[in-house]
Every structure is written in C-alpha cells, then in structure tokens.
Chain A
C-alpha cells in the first residue's frame, strides 16, 4: 500500500517515560497505526493505557524512542528535520483537549480563534477569512464578539475547535474533548466533529471513554497497556463484550442489554447489535414468534 493515502502512518512506535530513578517506563509498545485521510477513528482504552501519549506522539509533541512515523507522506523520524518542518507537520495535526477553560486565551471569541493563524504569520486579510469560516464551521458565528467566559462548556469547546480549524489542519485529535460537558454540550460537540469529518473531510481521531461516541466512528481502536488490543469497525469491536469488559471498558447500553439477553437468558439474538433500532427489530421478531405459537 502507498503511504500517501494515509495522513498518519505509524509503524512499531515505542515510547517510554522515565521514572524517578531514571529507569524507562514503557507506555507505548510497538504500536502500528495507519489512519486514512478523511476517516473517523475512535480510540478507546482504560486510564493509563497510553491513549494520550499516543496522541502526543502523533502530534509531534513527544518523540518516539523508536519506530517510524510518517505524517502526510513525510517521515518524521529523520535527523535532518528542521524546526520549520516540524512546525509545518504539527499544523497538519491539530489537538483539542478536555478542559475548555484551559484552551481559550483571548477575551473575545474571534480574537481567540485568530490566535493560531496569527502565530503562523498569516496576513491579516487571510486571518479574517479563516476566522469567519471557522466560526461558521462550528455554528458559532453569532458569538464572534462575545467573551468566552459567557459561553457554555459546549460552546467553549466549539470555539477551541474553531481555533484549530483556522490553522487548516488535515487531521484533528480530540483528547476526551467531551468529558467535562453536560449532555447537551456533548451532543453539540459530537455533531460538530461528525460534520467536520463528513463535510470538510477533516480526518478525526477521537479519544473517548464514552462508548456511544465511539459507535459513531468508522473504526475503533482499543488500547490496553500501551498496545493495540482491537482495531476494527465499531460493530465488530463492540461484539467483543467480554474482552472489552476484561480491560476495564464497556459497551453501549443497548449492546450490553442484547448481549446479556443472548448469553445469560438464552435469547436467540445476533451478537453484534449496536443501535436501538436494530435491537427493537431483533426483539420484535422474537416477540412475533412467541405470538405465533400462541395463535
């Protein structure tokens, strides 16, 4: 396969932190992950499984100990990479973090969004265009002149996303960006993420603890102790209920119920139901069968 179809192509990445005595503490162990341009990949894993470290490696904030990391066709593990090259590569992979309050720097929404492009040295006229488009992309145009402090958590996260979009990234990594939001805020942000992926073709890497968010991705990668445990379509990954539970994760409530009905109560159900309409259909069939016997 040609690497040019991939925005991220990581092979055999290893990374260790150092403990107090200077001994290596391996966090990422031989991870290979290729992310196709325009795809929507969810990354699941227990706390400490290495998800956020992997994100920092992919964003070139951390440097792998070994392995190969190709970003948009450019090998980053070369000695001759200049600072300018690194800045350019980092711009391609934006990151949105968990806490909305830690990511906003300016006192006016549109100035906050302009912060990134200003630092890239973009001419003012071009910045204006980018800011306006970024605001539109996250449906926040009417808040351009507000103070971020007046916004809800979901709105603040959308501004943080707009700030990244204004730097024209190819890929955005969301590191538990909905963890601190209320249900309405989570829905707003998830809808925004999905729209950026579908309509703008931005590649999405979504790190999350919410199984119902992961269901919306094209592909789910499950990390466990620094390694990739599962990597497949959501339907296949979430049919591995026991494996997921054994590594401290869960499945969506609908999947959980159907799995228990099948396994513990002997219901004749498919093992890979993800959505409530599928569950209703499957249970409906069983119900009709029972009604038929009655007649």
Chain B
C-alpha cells in the first residue's frame, strides 16, 4: 500500500556545548535566556523537551537550526560546530527542520501541494522527488490527496497545522524540532498529529525533538524526556527517570500525568500496583494483571 522510502538515513545527534544566549545585547534590556547550558539530544529517538514558560525551550529550538547564534558556546551536529562557516548557516535549515508554534499562520502558497513543496523546492530537488516527498509527508500528517489542490485558506485550523508540519517533514531533515505541535487541537487531533510524527520517526529513524507542556502526551510519544528550568537542564532520562521526581517537577512548574497520581493513591490505599506507570494503557494492564493474580492466588 503506502510506499516506503527505503534505507534509513544516518541519524544525527545535536548538542549545545556551554551555550549562553543573551537577548538584546548592549541595551538596557539585555537578558540571558540561557547561561552556560550543555545538553545533548540523542540520535534516532524522540525527545520530549519540557519546561515552564520562559525556561528557554523556544530559544533552544531556534539555536538548533541556526536562526539564533549563541552569544557564547557551540551548537554541534555530530560533533561539528554549525557556525564553523557562518556563510553556510542556511544549509543548517535544511538539516534541522523547525516547526514553530501555531505554524498554521505561516502558510502562503496557492495550493496545499505547493505549500508542502516549498521547502523541497528551495533545496533544488527535481519535480519527481518533490512530488514523492509531498505525497509522503501528506501521508504522515493525515492529509488526503483530495486536499492537494485546495487553497490552504479553505482548510480548518487543524488541517492547516498538518500542512505546515508536512512542509517541514518534506524537507526530510536529519533533525526535526517541533514547538508545541499539538497545542490547541482536540483530543483526536492531538493523537493523530503526535501519532503521525512518531510513525514518521519510526520509519525514517531520524532525530526528533518535541516541545510540549503535556506530560500525558510526552509519556506516550517521547522516548526520552528533557526538563528545563530557568535556562538550565534540570532532568534528562526515560519517563520513569524523570517522572519519579514528583516534588522536583512541581518546583519547576510541571506535574506528573494524572494517571500516575492515581496509581500513587492506589498504592497508599494498600493496593500494591506497580510504581512507574505513566500512561492509561500501562495502568490498565498493571491493574488487570494485579487483580487477576490476586484472584488466582485466592482460589489456589
């Protein structure tokens, strides 16, 4: 059915090494958004980047694809400084795709297909390859071909969001950074967008960074979680390694998934359900297993 694109590319890792970023340098409003931050996004996985408003998430996103240049320190892709040759920084935009918050306001082409093709066009690809990429990106974002010739402005907000994400996916970047891709969508829309991003990552094997405020979503869709606090790295690890620090999360303005709180309350009430449950699916399995074992134990 759906065409697979063959070989997985080499997955790239991207890191900030002792990065300081100051806004409005040389004015009375100078302010450090990041201060000597070192962190690494692992190759070939989805990392959920979380943190309170103003923790530096969006600044990091813009540093990763070269829109912002570090005041001090380096941004490294596979160990190479992206600013080694500042004149070539535009190429970084092709290697590191960035989907901004509320990207649906950035569509401008006459048709959906043209909008998705804009990035690949700028990369100088041939028409056949562009068409293949448009079709593939549309598939991952759940856009049906009957929408291709419509004006993006005829679409609903959720569909526009998909077009914007597809436009960056079609550039097939080694690293894809998405700033709140599911914000403002209804529950089904959230699942479809995040599920599509995961399917894309699993097929391509590339490196993905999703900025999100939803602990529930990140518990389901991210492989690793990174927590920022006031421009510093506060935690990095699996959902278990991050969500087990309940008090610390609360102190940095985040929280654990609701289902995790329920599991903790069950434990307190004397029902020995597993610790470390962060999704409804896992909670369902754990509770069913526990009660079955109890029942069988009782009958034995």
Contact = CB atoms under 8 A, between A and B. Distances in A.
A, B co-complexed: yes
Interface of A: 19-20, 45-48, 98, 152-154, 176, 179-187, 209, 211-212, 248-250, 252-254, 256-257, 260-261, 264-265, 267, 276-277, 279-280, 283-284, 286-287, 290-291, 293-294
Which interface class (under 10, 10 to 19, 20 to 34, 35 or more) fits B? Answer: 35 or more
Given A276-B265, A284-B269, A290-B295, A185 B253 contact: yes
Contacts of A209: 184-187, 190
A47 B298 contact: no
Give the top 6 A-B pairs by smallest Cβ distance, nearest first: A248-B188, A184-B253, A250-B187, A294-B298, A153-B53, A46-B186
12 contacts: A47-B186, A176-B184, A183-B215, A185-B53, A186-B213, A248-B187, A250-B188, A279-B262, A280-B269, A287-B270, A294-B294, A294-B297
B295 A248 contact: no
Contacts of A294: 294, 297-298
B154 interface: yes
Contacts of B254: 182-184
A46 B188 contact: yes
Interface string B261-300: 1100110011100000000100110011001001101110
B157 A48 contact: yes
Contacts of B287: 257, 261, 283
Contact of B288 (A152, A181, A250, A265): A265
Nearest to A211: B187
B145 interface: no
A47 B297 contact: no
Chain B at the A interface: SS class:
helix
* Central interface residue in B185, B253, B255, B299, by most chain A CB within 10 Å: B253
B258 interface: yes
A257 B51 CA distance: 27
A285 to B, nearest CB: 10
B195 interface: no
Nearest to A284: B269
A293 B258 CA distance: 32
A253 B284 contact: no
Nearest to B101: A180
A265 B289 CA distance: 10
B189 interface: yes
B187 A280 contact: no
Given A183-B253, A287-B271, A212 B258 contact: yes
B158 interface: yes
Given A209-B187, A280-B262, A284-B271, A253 B280 contact: yes
B183 interface: yes
Given A184-B253, A284-B269, A287-B271, 9 more contacts: A180-B184, A182-B51, A212-B258, A252-B258, A253-B216, A254-B258, A257-B283, A264-B284, A265-B284
Contacts of B156: 47-48
A98 B102 CA distance: 12
A276 B188 contact: no
B237 interface: no
A98 B104 CA distance: 15
Given A180-B183, A248-B186, A284 B270 contact: yes
A294 to B, nearest CB: 4
Interface in B38-58: 51-54
B103 interface: no
A270 B251 CA distance: 36
Interface string B175-205: 0000010011111111000000000000000
A209 B191 CA distance: 13
Interface string B201-224: 000000000000101100000000
Nearest to B290: A287
A278 to B, nearest CB: 10
Contacts of B295: 290, 293
B55 to A, nearest CB: 8
Given A46-B189, A209-B187, A287-B271, A181 B262 contact: no
Contacts of B189: 46-47, 248
Interface string B232-262: 0000000000000000000001110111011
Nearest to A51: B186
A261 B291 CA distance: 11
B149 to A, nearest CB: 14
A179 B101 CA distance: 12
